[in-house]
Amino acid sequence: MSTARLPDQVLIEQVKLLHGAAFAIPVNGLAALVVVAVLWDAIPFIFLLAWLAISWIVVALRLALCRRYRAGKGGDALSEARLFTAGAVASGLIWAMLCAILPSFAQEREFFFLAAIAAGMTAGGLTSLSAYLPAFVGYVVPFVLSLSIACIATLQRDFVGIGLLMGAYLSVIIGAAASANKSTRRSLVLQIANAALNDSLFSTRTELDATRKAQWSTLGHLSHELKTPLNAILGFSETMREQIFGALGHPKYLEYATYVHRSGEHLLALVNEILDLSQGEAGMLTLRESEVDLVRLVEHCIALIRPRAEAKQQHINWAPGVGSGRLRGDETKLRQILLNLLSNATKFTPPGGAITVTLGQAPNGGTVLSVADTGIGMDPADIPRAMLPFVRLATPLTQETDGVGLGLSLCKRLADLHGAAFTVTSASGEGTLCRLVFPAAALSPPSGHGISDRVNKPITRLRA
């Protein structure tokens, strides 16, 4: 973002507008050629040739200044504005020079012809020069005012009236130019303020992104550092629980070793979730793709969750659907998504409730995997918050359950990594539906496999 003051920035933009309209400068030279061709028999030819040469020299100098500015070789904005204004004044004075000799040589038609030229050049100047008022005034006033004086100098009643009207029109035109200039400046101020705001927002967003990545990186590093002692705790507590090197003695020791091992497993699961989420936020999470049998994967996850569901008298329904095949993805991360969804469903569904897992084909040819429950649900307005990391909605049931609020946010991150759309639909007291829609491009051709028999315990299926 520029550090220049606002008036300086406005002047810089005004100079850009002036040079952007530099295409009008050669019109002065073309108009001079037309004037010489029309007036050559009314005004001394030597004077006309000298006047034409001076006109083209000024046009050439003004164009050279514009080229120098566009090449980046110009000075500061104020200097460039003054140079451009000086060129405009020089062009105006050249036309004034021609008007000055009209009373001595010209007839009526020459006056009217130059009046028409003046009207056209004034209209063009109002378009191309009003961005910087001194340039417009320096160009138009010498031309129109000298033509007005030339008309009055004839002392003919008609021409005196025309000259006076020209003077009146000149004041009106200058007022219109001032109004256009004011509007241009106001527009430039708004553009500059908008650009400054955009730069500020971009800078702030960049800083926030960098801070967020640094925070997640620190959290991920901390989680990684926690895994080593946790693995040691798990290993030693399992050794004690299994009494590999002999009996522990008092039965309470065995009970405590079991509690330590379970707590360590729970803490390790949380650490792994934080590590995965921090890697995802830092853009370091990657997939190890392979062909995944979704039916087998779902059945395996249901088998892992079933004991927890049965402990709460919850019923798990499973409908594999028709045409559910295989897809390419990271089997470990897909399992993590499904286990998180099933775990949430069991946690937030009261005893006696039902959990339904379905697998089918999406209208776009992809695959839809959904987990629905008859639990407490949540207000639709709270769903965006529930998708944020470390957010737990304040309900009596959530306060009684474990977890730190990473499940849905991690599912969303892992789904995005697979190119899948992850949506949550819910209402208070009506349960929750989580859907994963995988694109058709992720599907693998069917391999002819039926329902996997890897899970020994039978699974309840819904009729299609």
For residue 428, give the CATH number of its domain: 3.30.565.10
Residue 60 located in a structural domain: yes
Upper half-sphere CA count for residue 14 (Cβ side, 13 Å):
31
> Which residue is it, tokens 């996850």?
301
- The 8 Å CB, 24+ separation contacts for 24-28 are 24/124, 24/125, 24/127, 24/128, 25/59, 25/62, 25/63, 25/66, 25/87, 25/91, 26/59, 26/63, 27/121, 27/124, 28/55, 28/58, 28/59, 28/91, 28/94, 28/121
> Shortest CA distance to 398 belongs to which of 434, 435, 349, 431?
349
Upper half-sphere CA count for residue 315 (Cβ side, 13 Å):
8
Q: Write down which residue in 172, 201, 230 finishes a domain.
A: 201
User: What per-residue confidence (pLDDT) applies to 327?
Assistant: 86
Upper half-sphere CA count for residue 355 (Cβ side, 13 Å):
27
The single-letter code of the amino acid at 112 is F
Instruction: Give the residue ranges of DSSP H helices in 21-44.
Output: 25-39
Residue 462 located in a structural domain: no
Identify the DSSP state of 101: T
> Shortest CA distance to 438 belongs to which of 371, 370, 368, 372?
368
47 and 183 co-located in one domain:
yes
14 and 88 co-located in one domain:
yes
Distance CA 363, CA 365 (A): 5
296 and 155 co-located in one domain:
no
321 and 413 co-located in one domain:
yes
User: What per-residue confidence (pLDDT) applies to 262?
Assistant: 74
Residue 385 located in a structural domain: yes
Q: What is the mean pLDDT of each run of 10 residues along the chain (464 residues)?
A: 68 87 87 88 87 93 90 85 91 91 80 88 86 91 91 87 90 91 89 87 81 64 66 79 79 80 72 66 72 90 89 90 75 88 91 92 86 92 83 59 70 88 92 91 56 34 32
182 and 323 co-located in one domain:
no
32 and 174 co-located in one domain:
yes
Q: In this structure, what are the phi and psi dihedrals at residue 46, rounded to the nearest 5 degrees?
A: -60, -45
Q: Report the domain count for the chain.
A: 3
Q: Are 18 and 131 in contact (CB under 8 A)?
A: yes
Sheet with 421-426, side-by-side order of all strands = 315-319, 354-361, 367-373, 432-438, 421-426
Distance CA 233, CA 381 (A): 42
266 and 321 co-located in one domain:
no
Q: Write down which residue in 281, 300, 323 finishes a domain.
A: 281
Upper half-sphere CA count for residue 295 (Cβ side, 13 Å):
21
Residue 143 located in a structural domain: yes
276 and 389 co-located in one domain:
no
User: What per-residue confidence (pLDDT) applies to 49?
Assistant: 92
Q: Write down which residue in 153, 171, 201 finishes a domain.
A: 201
Distance CA 179, CA 173 (A): 10
273 and 304 co-located in one domain:
no
Residue 270 located in a structural domain: yes
Instruction: Give the residue ranges of DSSP H helices in 154-243.
Output: 157-242
259 and 120 co-located in one domain:
no
317 and 253 co-located in one domain:
no
Strands 421-426 and 432-438: what pairing?
antiparallel
277 and 294 co-located in one domain:
no
Residue 209 located in a structural domain: no
Residue 463 located in a structural domain: no
The single-letter code of the amino acid at 258 is T
Residue 133 located in a structural domain: yes
**CA end-to-end distance (rounded Å), the chain:** 62
Structural domain boundaries, residue 73: 6-201
